[in-house]
Amino acid sequence: MKTFELPKSISSLAEELQIIQMVWQGASVQIPKFAIYAIIEKPIFDKVVFRNGRKIGLLHFDRYKIPVLDPFQANIDFHPNFALIISHSRGNRFGLYGYPADNIESNIQLSCSHGSVSRIVRDYV
C-alpha cells in the first residue's frame, strides 16, 4: 500500500489531525476536517437522480448542485440526519460532493504521527 504524508502546508501548522467521524448505516468513516466544506443538518434533496445504476441525492445551493453519494456505493433511499459536504480539487478545478450520515462526532484529534493518519488523509490530499 502506498503511504501518503500530510502536505507540508498542513503538517507544519499542526501536530494533531482533526477528524470528523461519521456513522452511516452502522459503519464509521473518518474524514479529515480540512476536507469538510460544510455539515448540513437534516438535508432535503432537491432531486434524486440515477447515475451508473446508483440513486444519488442532489442538493442545490445557488450555483452549486452537490451530489450526495452513499460512501459504500449503495443507493440513497431516504433523507439522512446529516450531509457532510466534502471539497476536492484537481489542478485549478474545485468541486463538492456529499456523504450522508446518521451521526457525526467532530471533536476527534489524532497525533500526526499516529499510524492511521496516512490512511485517513490519502483520499483527500
In a domain, 26, yes or no: yes
In a domain, 42, yes or no: yes
12 and 37 in contact (C-beta within 8 Å)?
Answer: no
Highest mean pLDDT among 2-11, 14-23, 58-67, 111-120: 58-67
Mean pLDDT of 39-63: 92
- Give residue 1's pLDDT: 41
In a domain, 5, yes or no: no
Return the beta strands (E) in 69-120 as ranges: 82-90, 93-101, 103-111
Report the distance separating Cα 101 and Cα 98, nearest Å.
10
pLDDT digits (tens, 9 = 90+) for 73-87: 888 877 899 999 999
- Give residue 85's pLDDT: 96
Query: At 57, which helix (H) or strand (E)?
Result: strand 54-61
The grid coordinates of residue 56 equal 444519488
Q: Indicate the number of domains in the chain.
A: 1
Q: Above 80 in pLDDT, residue 123?
A: no
In a domain, 16, yes or no: no
Higher pLDDT, 93 or 6: 93
| Pairing of the two strands 103-111 and 16-24 | antiparallel
Query: At 63, which helix (H) or strand (E)?
Result: none
> Looking at this protein, which amino acid is placed at residue 111?
S
Domain ranges, residue 75: 21-103
In a domain, 76, yes or no: yes
Q: Above 90 in pLDDT, residue 98?
A: yes
Mean pLDDT of 16-28: 91
